[in-house]
Amino acid sequence: MSTQVRHDHKLLLEHLLNGKLPRGLAWHEVIELITHIGEVLPNGGDEFTFVVDGQSLKFKRPHHDELDMEDASRLRKFLRESRSGGNPPAAGMRSIVVIDHHVAHIYQDLRGGAAETENTVKPYDPFGFHHHLIHRKEAHYVGERVPEESSYYEEIAAELGGAEEIVLIGHAKGKSSAMEFLLDFLKKHHPDRFKRVIATEVLDLSALTEPEIEAVVRERLGSS
């Protein structure tokens, strides 16, 4: 990988490696980044091979010239493995998802007693509906499904692409549970990730402070 990375490419690379997966990442931005840090080899038609630090990945140009969340997740995995010399994530790497209907916190990879990364995913909500949907209100949807935004769950699924073990922690039960919806979503759309879910847990998140939730996460990340 080049040691002289342009500032905007450096920011995009850092975002792809460690930040929240970007929505609507333009194809030309990806091509510029990979060309700057490696090579883009055309294979004919819409297929290309990305080569970075000796690692390669075949990629097809998206129909609308923007990467969806699944492609962004593949790109992140490729770039992370390129940086690590092609080594996959350490065996047993665990992701913890703490989720309700208005936010999901995703913690990954225990190192030295703390989560290495924490990403936050929120529903696409241009009209502010979920801004007013707090934990306690979820209990009011007894026997009903809270309105869902499928892209919310797709983005969470994309963040879980590199996890070998997944633990889901939610607030409510039954049809009012975002955790249950995520579990169903993974089973239907991402069975590979669904098979990696090793545990689910219901907690009264509204009664816990943020440090208390993080303590629960550290315990679950560290358990075998």
Given a cut of 50, is residue 147 above it in pLDDT? no
The reported pTM is 0.58
- Which position has the token pair 């990403």? 119
pLDDT at res. 14: 80
Digit-coded pLDDT (tens) for 149-164 = 677 888 888 888 778 8
Stronger pLDDT, 62 or 19, i.e. the higher one: 62
201: phi then psi, degrees, rounded to nearest 5: -150, 135
- The strands making up 114-121's β-sheet, listed across from edge to edge, are 114-121, 104-111, 94-99, 165-170, 197-202
Digit-coded pLDDT (tens) for 84-140 = 655 554 444 788 899 988 788 888 764 444 445 567 776 654 434 333 333 333 444
d(CA 139, CA 177): 9
DSSP category for residue 50: E
pLDDT at res. 50: 93
Domains of the chain: 7-83 (no CATH), 94-222 (3.30.420.60)
Stronger pLDDT, 195 or 13, i.e. the higher one: 195
Digit-coded pLDDT (tens) for 28-75 = 999 999 998 899 999 988 999 999 988 898 999 988 888 888 888 888
Task: Give the largest CA-CA distance in the chain.
Answer: 57
